[in-house]
Amino acid sequence: MSCAKILFLLAGIIYCVPSFVAAVTCDVAPLDPNCINCSLNPTNVECIATTTAATIPTTAAPVATAAPTKKSRRHRIRSYLSNFFQRIQKRLQQFKRKLNPL
């Protein structure tokens, strides 16, 4: 039943979203009748996005990250579960106090 709901939801979204959502500048697709001409309208969002993307240099140095070891993963999982159970216990105590205000 839930699979059918998901399929109907996806079909509704696809049906409602028009096919012309993706804006294209005339530099990329000059034959597209719905293209955005940046020379006529330079304040358009697509034109601003393409100019800022073109000015950002791509010479950033790669970031070296070490893979987490088993011990650190175990520690993270253990601390997460410990904090999770402490929060649950705290909320249960608060709930008991609200039920029995004495």
**What are the boundaries of each domain within the chain?**
7-55, 68-102
Residue 81 confidence (pLDDT): 92
Per-residue pLDDT of the chain (102 residues; tens, 9 = 90+): 577 888 877 777 777 665 555 566 777 777 777 777 788 877 877 777 655 555 555 555 556 565 656 678 888 889 999 999 999 999 999 888 888 876
- What's the confidence (pLDDT) of residue 38? 81
pLDDT value, residue 83:
92
Question: Which residue in 29, 55, 51 sits closest to 42, CA to CA?
Answer: 51
Q: What is the C-alpha separation between 27 and 102, in angstroms, rounded?
A: 73
- The Cα–Cα gap between 31 and 25 comes to 10
